[in-house]
Amino acid sequence: MAEPSKITIKTRLPVGLLPPNLERAQIKTERLVIRPYTQGDLAGMHVLRTQPEVMHFTMRGCIDQNLAETQERLDWYLPPRDLESYNWAICLAETGEQVGMGGVNRLKANGQSGWPEVGYMFKREHWGKGYATEFLRAFLDAWWALERSEVELEVDARSVDGIVDGAQAVAIPDRVTAIVDANNRGSLRVMEKAGFRQYKQFVEADSRMGYEGKDITLVGFIRSKET
C-alpha cells in the first residue's frame, strides 16, 4: 500500500496569539540587530520591496508600485496584527540600516507541509555576505524559546520521514519548514548552512505576476528543534 501523503502527528507549537511587538526583545548577533517592526520601517521596507531581483523570488513576483502597497504589507506586522505572526526587521548592528526582513508569516504553511513556514528577504547588495544564515540561526533560537502547547497536526508524511503508527498520532519534535524556488541557488545554500534538510521537490502553477500559465519547481526544507 502506498504511504499516505498526509499523516496526523503530535507536537508542541506556539499556539494562540504570539507576543506583541512591544514585548519582543531585540535579537542581537555578531553583525545584526533583529528587532520588531515600527511604522518608521516603511521607507526601508519600500526600498527592499522595490528591488526586482528580490521580489522575483517571492510569491508576488513583482515590486511594490508605491508606498501604499508597502504600507499594506507593513500593516501585517504592526499592532494589532503583530499577534498573528512572528516577523522581524533585520538591521546592520554597525549602521542600523534595514537590510532585510524575515520570520514566520503563517503558523501553518498554507497546506504545503502543515508546519510553520519561515522565510526571509534581503536587499540585493547584501546577498552573499552570510546575513541570511546568521539571521536564521538567531531567529530559530528565539522561535524555539516561545511558550508552547501540545497540538495535533496533519502534516506531509515526507516531513517526518513517513513515520506512522496505525491510527495513533505519533509524537514528533517541533519543526519548521521553508519553501525555496529551485532556481534560487543562494537560498538553497542558506538552507543547508542553517541546518535544514530537503524533504521534497515539487512542481506547481506559478503564482507570480507575469508568469500565468507557467509552472515553477519548488524545494521543501524542514528543520527539527533537535537539529
pTM across the whole model: 0.91
User: Is residue 174 a contact partner of residue 129, using CB atoms and an 8 Å limit?
Assistant: no
| H or E stretch covering 74 | helix 67-75
Average pLDDT over the chain reads 90
Please write the tens of the pLDDT for every residue from 154-208: 899 889 876 665 556 788 889 999 999 999 999 999 999 999 999 999 999 998 8
The cell for 83 is: 499577534
Residue type, 102: G
202, 210, 220 from 156: Cα distances, Å: 13, 30, 10
Measure the CA–CA gap between 91 and 32, rounded to whole angstroms.
6
Residue 89 has pLDDT above 90, yes or no: yes
- Which pairing describes strands 6-13 and 170-171: parallel, antiparallel, or unpaired? parallel
Beta-sheet strand order (sheet of 170-171):
149-156, 6-13, 170-171
Domain spans in the chain, listed from the N-terminal domain onward: 6-174
Over residues 46-67, the mean pLDDT reads: 95
Question: Percent of the chain beyond pLDDT 70?
Answer: 92
Is residue 16 scored above 50 in pLDDT?
A: yes
Which 8-state DSSP code applies to residue 140?
H
- For residues 69 and 76, give the distance between their C-alpha atoms in angstroms, rounded to a whole number: 12
Please state, in angstroms and rounded to a whole number, the distance separating the CA atoms of residues 224 and 227. Answer: 5
What CATH number matches the domain at 6-174, 3.40.630.30, 3.30.300.30, 1.10.1740.10, 2.60.120.10? 3.40.630.30
CA torsion, ordered 5, 10, 16, 18, to nearest 10 deg: -90
pLDDT of residue 15: 76
pLDDT for the residue 4: 52
pLDDT tens per residue, range 101-145 = 999 976 654 457 889 999 999 999 999 999 999 999 999 999 999
